[in-house]
Chains A and B, each alone.
Chain A
Amino acid sequence: MASRNTIVAHVEDRPGVLARVASLFRRRGFNIESLTVGHCEEPGLSRMTIVVDGDDHQVDQVCRQLFKLIDVVSVQDITYAPMVDRELALIKVSASNFNRREVLDMVEMFRADVVDVDADALIVQVLGDEGKVDAAVKMFEQFGILEMVRTGRVAMVRGTETTKPPAISDSQQAAAAIRAMLGRRPEGALPFASD
């Protein structure tokens, strides 16, 4: 039972949509670990990757409540799907003539990049899944981290399967697609069966 869950939502690209999502999370007491939003393959839609804490039941509620927002076109919980997930971190590491070599070795080890150089500091860009970024941050701490920023997680299901929302045309079809997406938890299509 994962406590960190990855949800992908497609939302109409309209003013206020982020506030609606945020308001929902606040009101229902859901815990957002991270939320990233940006463009996707379809103009007019934005794609959110939301990482939430909670058990299966809570995550299912998050998905169902999210879907009720009119501007939310689709919601999928991909926690249990095979997926690629990435985060990016920019880490400003203090680095002088005395230790720059060591810092650069560490950069090498994490297959990270140096994106800015100064006499007393470097900005290191780390790209990877959460675990890798965590590890990198930990290792750079020994040199002294002056500043750090991490994006939230972005994620995509592997293979040909997509999280793309159903097309608009047929409401019945859309309803069916949405229902199939909701509750896609290990128990199968009927969530919360008590036996």
Chain B
Amino acid sequence: MRLTGARILMECLRAEGVEVFFGYPGGVVLPLYNTLGEYPDIKHVLVRHEQAAAHAADGYARVAGRTGVCLATSGPGATNLVTGITTAYMDSVPMVVLTGNVARDLIGRDGFQEADITGITLPITKHNYLLMRASEIAPAVKEAFHIASTGRKGPVLVDIPKDVFIEEAEWDGYPQGVSLRGYPIMDVPREEEVARAAETINAAKRPIVIAGHGVVQSEAQHELVEFAERSDTPVLTTLLGISGMPEDHELSYGFLGMHGHFYANMAADRADVVIGIGMRFDDRAMGRFSDFNPTAKIVHIDIDPAEIGKNFKTHAPVNGDVKETLSRLLPQIDRNSHPEWRSEIDEIMAQHPTDYIEEGTGLGGPWLVRALAEATNGEATIVTGVGQHQMWGAQYYPYTKARQWVTSGGLGTMGYEVPAAMGAQFAQQEPIWSICGDGGFQMTSQELQTVAEHNLPVRFAIFNNGFLGMVRQWQELFYANNYHSVDLGQPDFVKLAEAYGIRGVRATTRAEAMQVFRDLEGYDGPVVIDFQLEREENVWPMVPAGAALSETIESAEDL
């Protein structure tokens, strides 16, 4: 059968089981939009800015555990995606990004709305394609989904010139497989690597696990718990590893890093064997590299061989998929117990709990996250922006189910909270709670229109401190209180919501906040909540920039 490039692309999306994608039209993708009506089973969500299309696909992918898809036109449409693609790239989120480009004979001539998007995205995609014939579409899309969703996941961009959408090619079904010689699947670890890891772990007296996003992505929560129990190893997570370990488990000690728990940072710093699982020893997690626990032996399990040994010398490298590796490792792990080591950490935890909840009636960030946790039974899916609210969301909500926590960790993208929550809502029925910064919310609030159109039950909880809070905290602590460009004016968020036809509410006291939570039970539309926070609260504990984990401070007096 001969089909146009546009139809072939849509047939491919259908064959991939894509149920929703996020996009914005423009001249060169008109041939594609012309066919969308014939594919009603593939829901196209019209966003209000292409950045939001990328973040929405990303949020959807993280919650659904599937590959997210977004679409933009050439030139400015494509370049508007860049922040969203980079966000997904840094956090290894599977995404297929479709862009249109100018017609083939205009490529390279700086025609209207031409941008070299494959060139621009070279360093921020796992791979990308510029297709010059309609017959290349099906194999390329097949490869794109394969590459995005296997190995270390990530965004793959497919750029299609306008006339390639129109050109016809033979369609004889979606390709069955891919043949990518330079991309072998590296899921299964080498036996000798697993054995060396097991030996190191079995000999450990003070082992610690640091679990990362890889645990969530390879859906290895169960294997991780079994590993921890068998070896009696306390488990920390990275910021992105949150929800990979159920936090109600007695071996869970929360996340480590710049605003991680004091006891988590100390445990990592005092362990004799550090077992990194599906993580990349990032500087925000590990503090100053040169002073991170110099005597620890490092066991590192990761799907990406380039991560192993990148930042730290590794005693036992294991290259493999987390789930696959843990299930091979488990039988070789001795049943062990480390009561002294655990009580040492428990003691630190008892003396240095993360419990900065102040007495009073006003709204503090930590109090509000705790209250939210109670109101939602600890079961909500939380999406955040970047800043203080993000850190409080990480610290005070008890995550137990994988994929319950969605945040921009690697890139730290403000404005992520609105579109990512919107995209995530397409992956589940239960309302998504978006913990928003008043700064971040203002970056992408145009998507309230999209949210309203689809009547998505997202709860946008604006942690409104009237400041770019995290920057203000740094100016207070490290720039002698010299506040500049952080005191943020803002619209009336309730009226703004109402302007979009969305329910808007405000809470300024704890009692009002509790009332809001009660009022919203059972409400199935979108809501914007303006939680008016105390303005100058700080996030503690903290590892100052460039300091070691062992130098974690718990208040400004420690500086």
Mostly, the B contact residues are loop
Q: Are A165 and B309 CB-contacts (below 8 A) given A70-B147, A175-B186? A: no
Are A179 and B305 in contact (CB-based, < 8 A)?
yes
B127 touching A175 by the CB < 8 A rule?
no
* Chain B residues in 8 Å Cβ range of A27: 123
Is the CB–CB distance between A16 and B118 below 8 Å? yes
Closest to A192 in B: B309
Is A64 on the interface with B (CB-CB < 8 A)? Answer: yes
Q: Does A151 contact B (CB under 8 A)?
A: no
Question: Residue of B at shortest CB range from A69?
Answer: B182
Q: Which residues of B (317-344) have their CB < 8 Å from a CB of A?
A: 317, 319
Contact between B317 and A174, CB atoms less than 8 A apart: no
- Determine the chain A residues whose CB is within 8 A of the CB of B122 once the complex forms: 19-20, 23
Among B181, B298, B317, contact of A191 (Cβ-Cβ < 8 Å): B317
B196: CB under 8 A from chain A? Answer: yes
| Nearest B residue (CB) for A57 | B309
Q: Which residue on chain A has the smallest CB distance to residue B132?
A: A15
Whether A176 and B190, one on each chain, are in contact in the complex, defined by CB atoms closer than 8 angstroms, is: yes
Known: A70-B180, A73-B181. A192 touches B313 (CB 8 A): yes
- Distance, CA A96 to CA B248, complexed state (A): 88
A106 on the B face (CB < 8 A): no
User: Which A residues between 141 and 195 are near B, CB-CB below 8 angstroms?
Assistant: 165, 168, 171-172, 174-176, 178-179, 182, 189-195
CA distance A71 to B118 in the complex (A): 15
Q: Which residues of B contact A77 (CB under 8 A)?
A: none
A72→B139 CA distance, assembly (Å): 19
Q: How far is the CA of A24 from the CA of B147 in the complex (A)?
A: 18
CA distance A179 to B183 in the complex (A): 12
Cα–Cα distance between A165 and B180 once the two chains are bound (Å)? 13
A138–chain B nearest beta-carbon distance, Å = 39
**Is there a chain B Cβ closer than 8 Å to A3's Cβ?**
no
CA separation between A1 and B402, bound complex, in Å?
45
Residues on B with beta carbons closer than 8 Å to the beta carbon of A192? 308-309, 313-314, 317
Residues from chain A with Cβ under 8 Å of B183 in the complex: 70
Assembled-state Cα–Cα distance A184/B179 (Å):
27
B193 and chain A: residue at smallest CB distance: A190
Q: How many residues of B contact A (CB 8 A)?
A: 35
- Closest Cβ–Cβ distance, residue A30 to chain B (whole Å): 12
In whole angstroms, what is the CA distance A192 to B311 when docked? 11
Residues on B with beta carbons closer than 8 Å to the beta carbon of A74: 182
Say yes or no: A190 contacts B317, CB within 8 Å. yes
Query: What residues of chain B lie closer than 8 Å to A60, measured between beta carbons?
Result: 309
Cα of A191 to Cα of B297 in the assembled complex, Å: 14
Measured between beta carbons, the chain B residues less than 8 angstroms from A68 are 304, 306
> Using Cβ atoms and an 8 Å threshold, which residues of chain B touch A31?
none
Which chain B positions have C-beta within 8 A of A182?
Answer: 305
Q: How far is the CA of A68 from the CA of B180 in the complex (A)?
A: 12
Contact of B306 among A67, A168, A174 (CB under 8 A): A67
Report the bound CA distance from A153 to B118 in whole Å: 30
Closest-CB distance, A11 to chain B (whole angstroms): 8
On whether A12 and B315 interact (CB within 8 A), knowing A19-B122, A64-B306, A172-B188, the answer reads no
B310 interface residue (CB < 8 Å to A): yes
Q: How far is the CA of A74 from the CA of B182 in the complex (A)?
A: 7
B185 at the A interface (CB under 8 A): yes
Q: Does B522 contact A (CB under 8 A)?
A: no
What is the CA–CA distance of A193 and B313 in the complex, to the nearest angstrom? 7
List the A side residues contacting B316 at CB < 8 Å: 190
**Can you list 27 A-B pairs, Cβ within 8 angstroms, ordered by A?**
A19-B122, A23-B122, A60-B309, A61-B306, A64-B305, A67-B182, A69-B127, A69-B182, A70-B147, A70-B182, A73-B181, A168-B179, A172-B184, A172-B188, A174-B181, A175-B185, A178-B186, A179-B190, A179-B319, A182-B305, A192-B309, A192-B313, A192-B314, A192-B317, A193-B314, A194-B297, A194-B313
Chain A interface residues (CB < 8 Å from chain B)? 11-12, 16, 19-20, 23-24, 27, 57, 60-61, 64-65, 67-74, 165, 168, 171-172, 174-176, 178-179, 182, 189-195
Given contacts A64-B306, A175-B185, 9 further A-B pairs with CB under 8 A are A12-B182, A67-B182, A165-B181, A179-B186, A189-B192, A190-B193, A190-B316, A191-B309, A192-B308
A-B pairs, top 5 by smallest CB distance, nearest first, are: A64-B306, A174-B184, A192-B309, A175-B184, A73-B182
